[in-house]
């Protein structure tokens, strides 16, 4: 992502905090200490925070209007230089906060040194990180909606397409492919809810907490909070600089989302195999093999499945870094950013990749429907018929159906391939009417309970989901 530190050893004490230091940091100290390689990623948020802080200092009479003006102008230029890629980074300046201030001081001189009045890098970094993550969540939301909408499109097309529903990956009962797609729409709806909750809780401003204890300057934390779009200032200055649960929450939501994506990816891998042949992947999301010319590999699905591992690892990394840290800031907390950046980058690939794959695949309707018939998938319908029509207790009906399945298996036929005489030999009360429930279409159409797989229910669920979207 970013350049590695240069090997140039800087001599002389750090210009920003080196007042009590006689010599410079060793090269390896600079390398381990610096976060500029990754935290430069939130320069915009850092500069936005500085603008809000500067304007507030002026409004409160802590900074003169002239100094404030010079600082704001200088910050514009620093931002433009960074955006243009002409900015020079130097590991001796540690992090983005010090880079911005150092450049500001080159540009405007003495007033730059007044910007850090009544704040610390501790409240600064916590503010930047929250702002950055808030933007990231806001960018993820439409991507998740697009994925839901791709699932809804497929669900709508295939509200009547039969497929086997599985438990234990054994054919269980026929369902529709539309119903199966809608299961993921539900999961993603909850995922979106988790990110929205996280955003709501993180939207408090640490700025003005200063190093940890607040400040003796007459600052206005409400003003900086509202200038930055926060709902309110964080209530406790120690918590404000020490809390990282907002990042943990984001990573936890991302890990759950990634697990959901991974499950769907696994299904696509299965479905695309010659053995299932339920779907055919488009050229856009498959790769060939360098030795086996017949292959069409589901690489994108496999990678979405695998990347869940990375995301779960990043959540784990942050939890373990923060675990056991005493109040308030410790430098350990500098290690909080890379896992979050990596996860944001990963989601920006996996979510649209899944959306793309869903749009690109062909559903092999006949194959799915044929598979829906295999494995005596209407056995439950038969047992239910025995309960409803003959008044058998369900346990007895289950037993009778089991015997009929065994018989069909011996004869090498489906349940509806048994003769009425065969059936009556097992349970005398069975009539010709039983054949109505043995077909897979009837089975699916009969599952009209709320949340069930009947095409009428699936269509209603799609309409409701579209309305919510």
Residues with catalytic function: 168, 289
What DSSP assignment string belongs to 372-404?
HHTT-TTHHHHHHHHHHHH---HHHHHHHHHHH
Which residues does 313 contact at the CB level (< 8 Å), separation at least 6?
A: none
Name which of 67 and 123 has its Cβ closer to ligand ARG: 123
333 contributes a contact to ligand ARG by CB under 6 A: yes
Name which of 214 and 282 has its Cβ closer to ligand ARG: 214
Find where tokens 């060793």 sit: 26
Question: Among 334, 350, 355, 364, which residue interacts with ligand ARG (rule: CB under 6 A)?
Answer: 334
Question: Among 46, 67, 95, 204, which residue interacts with ligand ARG (rule: CB under 6 A)?
Answer: 95
Segment interacting with ligand ARG, rule: CB under 6 A, options 71-79, 291-299, 328-336, 420-428: 328-336
Name which of 146 and 335 has its Cβ closer to ligand ARG: 335
Show the binding pattern over residues 39-58: x = contacts ligand ARG (CB under 6 A), - = does not: x-------------------
Q: Is 169 left (phi over 0), alpha (psi -120 to 50) or beta?
A: left
Which residues does 271 contact at the CB level (< 8 Å), separation at least 6?
A: 277, 278, 279
Question: Among 30, 35, 148, 237, which residue interacts with ligand ARG (rule: CB under 6 A)?
Answer: 35
With b for 16 or more beta-carbon neighbours within 10 A and e for fewer, the 199-209 pattern comes to: beebbbbbbbb
Q: How far is the CB of 332 from ligand ARG (least distance, A)?
A: 9
For residue 196, what are the CA distances in angstroms to 115, 162, 192, 237, 281?
33, 35, 6, 25, 33
Which residues does 183 contact at the CB level (< 8 Å), separation at least 6?
A: none
Segment interacting with ligand ARG, rule: CB under 6 A, options 68-76, 117-125, 247-255, 278-286: 117-125
Segment interacting with ligand ARG, rule: CB under 6 A, options 109-117, 294-302, 315-323, 329-337: 329-337
Angle at the Cα of 250 (from 78 to 212), degrees rounded to 5? Answer: 60
Name which of 331 and 411 has its Cβ closer to ligand ARG: 331
Question: Among 57, 78, 125, 171, which residue interacts with ligand ARG (rule: CB under 6 A)?
Answer: 125
Name which of 95 and 191 has its Cβ closer to ligand ARG: 95
Name which of 17 and 394 has its Cβ closer to ligand ARG: 17
Nearest-angstrom CA–CA distance, 253 and 192: 9
Nearest-angstrom CA–CA distance, 173 and 452: 12
Q: Please report which helix (H) or strand (E) contains residue 9, including its range.
A: none
Show the binding pattern over residues 170-189: x = contacts ligand ARG (CB under 6 A), - = does not: --------------------
- Footprint on this chain of ligand ARG (rule: CB under 6 A): 35, 39, 95, 121-122, 125, 329, 331, 333-334
């Amino acid at each position: 992502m970013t350049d590695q530190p240069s090997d140039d050893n800087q001599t002389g004490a750090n210009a920003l905090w080196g007042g009590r230091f006689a010599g410079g940091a060793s090269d390896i100290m600079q390398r381990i200490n610096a976060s500029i390689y990754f935290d430069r990623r939130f320069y915009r948020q850092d500069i936005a925070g500085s603008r809000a802080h500067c304007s507030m200092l002026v409004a409160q009479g802590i900074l003169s209007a002239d100094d404030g003006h010079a600082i704001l102008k200088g910050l514009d230029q620093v931002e433009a230089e960074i955006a243009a890629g002409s900015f020079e980074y130097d590991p001796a300046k540690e992090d983005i906060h010090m880079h911005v201030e150092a450049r500001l001081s080159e540009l405007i001189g003495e007033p730059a040194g007044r910007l850090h009045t009544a704040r610390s890098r501790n409240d600064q970094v916590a503010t930047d990180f929250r702002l950055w993550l808030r933007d990231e969540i806001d960018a993820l939301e439409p991507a998740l909606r697009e994925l839901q909408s791709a699932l809804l499109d497929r669900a709508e097309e295939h509200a009547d397409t039969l497929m086997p529903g599985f438990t234990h990956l054994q054919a269980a009962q026929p369902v529709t492919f539309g119903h199966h797609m809608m299961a993921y729409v539900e999961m993603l709806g909850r995922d979106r809810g988790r990110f929205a909750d996280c955003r709501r809780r993180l939207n408090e401003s640490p700025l003005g907490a200063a190093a940890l204890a607040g400040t003796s300057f007459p600052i206005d934390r409400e003003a900086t909070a509202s200038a930055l779009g926060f709902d309110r200032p964080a209530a406790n200055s120690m918590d404000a600089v020490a809390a990282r649960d907002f990042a943990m929450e984001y990573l936890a939501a991302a890990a759950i989302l990634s697990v959901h994506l991974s499950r769907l990816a696994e299904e696509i891998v299965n479905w695309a195999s010659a053995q299932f042949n339920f779907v055919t992947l488009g050229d856009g999301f498959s790769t060939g093999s360098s030795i086996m010319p017949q292959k069409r590999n589901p690489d994108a699905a496999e990678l979405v499945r695998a990347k869940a591992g990375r995301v779960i690892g990043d959540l784990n990394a942050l939890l373990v870094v923060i675990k056991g840290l005493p109040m308030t800031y410790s430098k350990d907390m500098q290690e909080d950013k890379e896992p979050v950046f990596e996860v944001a980058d990963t989601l920006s690939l996996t979510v649209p990749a899944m959306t793309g794959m869903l749009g690109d695949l062909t559903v092999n309707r006949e194959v799915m429907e044929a598979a829906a018939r295999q494995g005596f998938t209407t056995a439950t319908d038969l047992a239910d018929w025995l309960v409803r029509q003959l008044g058998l207790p369900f346990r007895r009906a289950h037993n009778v159906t089991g015997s009929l399945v065994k018989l069909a298996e011996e004869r090498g036929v489906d349940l509806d391939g048994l003769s009425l005489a065969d059936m009556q030999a097992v349970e005398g009360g069975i009539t010709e009417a039983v054949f109505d429930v043995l077909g897979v279409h009837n089975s699916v159409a009969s599952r009209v309970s709320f949340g069930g797989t009947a095409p009428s229910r699936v269509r209603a669920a799609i309409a409701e989901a579209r309305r919510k979207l």
